[in-house]
């Protein structure tokens, strides 16, 4: 549809005419109501930004998945990060989004305001450099993210070992998409009939993990990109399978994603990390859904280096982020949405993050269940 050699290659994926023609095809094919989940918060924001939810036929309900790493990082890990960041002689480094995520009592911004050395970095490799430049300080990187950030987090640990850096560690917080899909699809309240899988995660991991999931839960899965044309093509492929009573894991993002993914990146992840049980904020513990450091790299584990046991966590009683992240409720169902909880004064992580569903609904004015309001 788009000439990949054309100078309009990327803008072509935002071409309104092409997007409308795919939506027309969806309308031709659809005969009944379907509920689809886009897993990634980046996809949620693109859907809202381009008004795709308002253009799609009424029969399609899009619910928003837990694919926002900032949103699902557990309160225990955030409180642990806050505690470490307050220790003397520590430089605590993190992606910018995490600084405003509320812990039980405060956020990383408040720690910085009260004198903590909290720095925003764009890559864990920047944190490695900070550690080299500050040999008398302990430098800790908050290693959040899905499978997308895991290779560079692994690379930072490998690099630290290679150059003999002993004042660098990471607080491991990476989470994995497939175990979360299992949890959503096997929950008693599950309403999801088709999945748009996150294209960037699959760019790293491929989509070889998805056919067994599609098969087990009889739910079509389509690997989908982030531009408006990518999204409507992903929706078209999912709807087509549902209407034809067919189940498979398909790839609608083949310009970026292959079945096997980036094997070199996967090798690096497996060298440094191993799957561990991990708690997801608002959802609870999901078996084998996180990445912990392997024994050979335990010296780089901030959890080991800093004894932060004895932290008591307390979650906001109003925030229903867990239900939003599982697609059970929409942000406007939360009594605090847009009143007690805003991007300027967030009560929960989905209102903070650039990928959070509550922030997307707030920024793009989705204040009721009428998407056309
Ligand atoms: S609007 Fe705020 S309080 Fe409500 S679910 Fe979203 S983040 Fe939580």
| Residue 357 Cβ < 6 Å to ligand 1 | no
pLDDT cut 90: percent of the chain above it: 78
pLDDT digits (tens, 9 = 90+) for 63-93: 988 888 888 999 999 999 999 999 999 999 9
Nearest protein CA to atom 3 of ligand 1, as residue: 319
State yes or no: pLDDT of 4 exceeds 70: no
Q: Give the C-alpha distances (Å, rounded to integers) separating 10 from 1, 23, 163, 230, 236.
A: 12, 19, 39, 11, 20
pLDDT of residue 229: 96
Pairing label, strands 273-280, 284-293: antiparallel
Nearest protein CA to atom 7 of ligand 1, as residue: 348
Superfamily for domain range 8-69+184-251: HypD, alpha/beta domain 1 (3.40.50.11750)
Lookup: tokens for 189: 């309240």
Q: Report helix, strand and coil shares of the chain as percent, to nearest 5.
A: 45, 20, 40
pLDDT of residue 156: 98
User: What gap in Å lies between CA 128 and CA 153, rounded to an integer?
Assistant: 10
71-176+262-305 CATH: 3.40.50.11740
User: What gap in Å lies between CA 192 and CA 63, rounded to an integer?
Assistant: 8
For a ligand 1 pocket test, name from 71, 315, 317, 318 the mutation site with the most ligand atoms within 8 angstroms of its C-beta.
318
Enumerate the CATH 3.40.50.11750 domain ranges in the chain, comma separated. Answer: 8-69+184-251
DSSP 1-22: ---TTSTTTTGGGG-HHHHHHH
- The alpha carbon of 250 is separated from its chain's Cα centroid by a whole number of angstroms, namely 21
- Extract the runs of DSSP E, i.e. beta strands, from the chain: 34-40, 60-67, 90-94, 117-120, 138-145, 168-174, 194-198, 221-224, 249-251, 273-280, 284-293
pLDDT digits (tens, 9 = 90+) for 133-142: 999 999 999 9
Nearest protein CA to atom 1 of ligand 1, as residue: 337
Hey, CA dihedral for 149, 154, 157, 161, is it positive or negative? negative
State yes or no: pLDDT of 5 exceeds 70: no
pLDDT classification of 222: cutoffs 50, 70, 90? very high
Query: Helices 41-49 and 228-243: crossing angle, nearest 10°?
Result: 100
Is the distance from CB of 358 to CB of 337 less than 8 angstroms? yes
For a ligand 1 pocket test, name from 349, 350, 357, 362 the mutation site with the most ligand atoms within 8 angstroms of its C-beta.
350
pLDDT digits (tens, 9 = 90+) for 30-53: 999 999 999 999 999 999 999 999
pLDDT of residue 326: 80
pLDDT of residue 325: 83
Nearest protein CA to atom 6 of ligand 1, as residue: 358
Classify burial at 186, counting beta carbons within 10 Å of its beta carbon; exposed 0-12, middle 13-18, buried 19 or more.
Answer: exposed
Instruction: Note the pTM of the prediction, 2 decimals.
Output: 0.91
State yes or no: pLDDT of 316 exceeds 90: no
State yes or no: pLDDT of 372 exceeds 80: no
User: What gap in Å lies between CA 129 and CA 95, rounded to an integer?
Assistant: 15
Lookup: tokens for 179: 């175990």
Enumerate the CATH 3.40.50.11740 domain ranges in the chain, comma separated. Answer: 71-176+262-305
State yes or no: pLDDT of 354 exceeds 90: no
* d(CA 72, ligand 1 centre) in Å: 13
* d(CA 316, ligand 1 centre) in Å: 9
State yes or no: pLDDT of 373 exceeds 60: no
Q: Give the C-alpha distances (Å, rounded to integers) separating 162 from 134, 190, 230.
A: 17, 46, 40
Pairing label, strands 194-198, 34-40: parallel
Report residue 302: phi and psi, to 5°.
-65, -25
pLDDT of residue 66: 87
* d(CA 346, ligand 1 centre) in Å: 7
């Amino acid at each position: 549809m788009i000439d990949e050699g054309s100078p309009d290659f990327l803008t072509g994926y935002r071409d309104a005419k092409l997007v409308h023609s795919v939506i027309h095809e969806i309308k031709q094919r659809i005969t009944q109501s379907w509920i689809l989940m886009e897993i990634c918060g980046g996809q949620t924001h693109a859907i809202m930004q381009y008004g795709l939810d308002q253009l799609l036929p009424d029969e399609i309900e899009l619910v928003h998945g837990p694919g926002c790493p900032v949103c699902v990082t557990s309160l225990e890990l955030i409180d642990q990060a806050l505690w470490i960041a307050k220790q003397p002689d520590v430089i605590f480094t993190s992606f910018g989004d995490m600084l405003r995520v509320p812990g039980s009592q405060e956020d990383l911004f408040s720690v910085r305001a009260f004198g903590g050395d909290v720095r925003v970095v764009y890559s864990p490799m920047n944190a490695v450099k900070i550690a080299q430049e500050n040999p008398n300080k302990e430098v800790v990187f908050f290693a959040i993210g899905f499978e997308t950030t895991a290779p560079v987090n692994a690379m930072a640990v490998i690099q630290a070992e290679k150059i003999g850096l002993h004042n660098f560690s990471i607080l491991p917080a990476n989470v994995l998409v497939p175990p979360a899909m299992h949890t959503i699809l096997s929950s008693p309240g599950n309403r999801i009939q088709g999945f748009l899988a996150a294209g960037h995660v699959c760019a790293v991991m491929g989509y070889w993990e998805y056919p067994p999931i599609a098969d087990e839960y009889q739910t079509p899965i389509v690997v989908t990109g982030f531009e408006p044309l990518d999204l409507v093509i992903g929706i078209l492929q999912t709807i087509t399978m549902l209407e034809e009573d067919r189940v498979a894991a398909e790839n609608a993002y083949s310009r970026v994603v292959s079945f096997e993914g980036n094997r070199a990146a996967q090798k690096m992840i497996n060298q440094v990390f191993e799957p561990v049980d991990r708690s997801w904020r608002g959802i609870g513990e999901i078996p084998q859904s996180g990445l912990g450091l392997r024994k050979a790299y335990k010296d780089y584990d901030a959890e080991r280096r800093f004894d932060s046991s004895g932290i008591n966590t307390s979650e906001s009683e109003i925030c229903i982020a867990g239900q939003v992240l599982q697609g059970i409720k929409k942000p406007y169902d939360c009594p605090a949405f847009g009143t007690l909880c805003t991007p300027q004064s967030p009560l929960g992580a989905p209102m903070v993050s650039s990928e959070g569903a509550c922030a997307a609904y707030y920024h793009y004015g989705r204040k009721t269940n009428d998407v056309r309001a």
